[in-house]
Homo-oligomer: A and B are copies of this chain.
Amino acid sequence: MTTVARNADAESDPRVKAVFDDIRATRKSDFINNFWHYLTFDPKLLEDTWYGVKAVMAEPSALDPLTKELIYIAVSITNSCSYCVHSHTAAARAKGMTEAMHADLLRVVATAGRTNQLLNGLQVPVDPVFNAE
């Protein structure tokens, strides 16, 4: 169940088609996952989202593509976004995440979840040495 209807004919809109073509070219694959299909109900939202995600995730930057996927998964787990966890776990695998790396990611994410709770419970003052200024 979703909150907007999927439009099977969305690509008849040239703005949607341009985005979908760019997704296919960027990923070198014909497959377009559901997220982008459902965003077609508002072509501007589709454009802004895709070009924003692409600029961060698909263009070379200080962090390598796999590390960026791992960070993306970590946030998605913490925000309890089921779709995001699924799609970015698949993306991380496609970029080389092994089973051992997946387990390690979950270990770190779980450890952070554990100590985040302790610190929020203790309300410990931040050590002055951590101040960047």
Contacts and interface: CB of A to CB of B under 8 A. Distances in A.
A69 B104 CA distance: 12
Interface string A103-115: 1111111111111
- Counting chain B CB atoms within 10 Å of each CB, the highest count among A39, A82, A115, A118 belongs to A115
B81 A127 contact: no
Interface in A89-118: 89-90, 98-118
Given A99-B41, A103-B62, A127-B33, A79 B133 contact: no
Given A57-B111, A99-B41, A99-B42, A122 B2 contact: yes
A1 B105 contact: no
Contact of A83 (B90, B108, B124, B128): B124
Copies of this chain, complex-wide, total 6
Given A86-B3, A113-B113, A49 B118 contact: yes
A62 B96 CA distance: 12
A61 B41 CA distance: 16
Contacts of A81: 80, 116, 119-120
Interface of A: 1-6, 31, 33-35, 38-39, 41-42, 44-45, 48-49, 52-53, 55-57, 61-63, 67-68, 70-90, 98-133
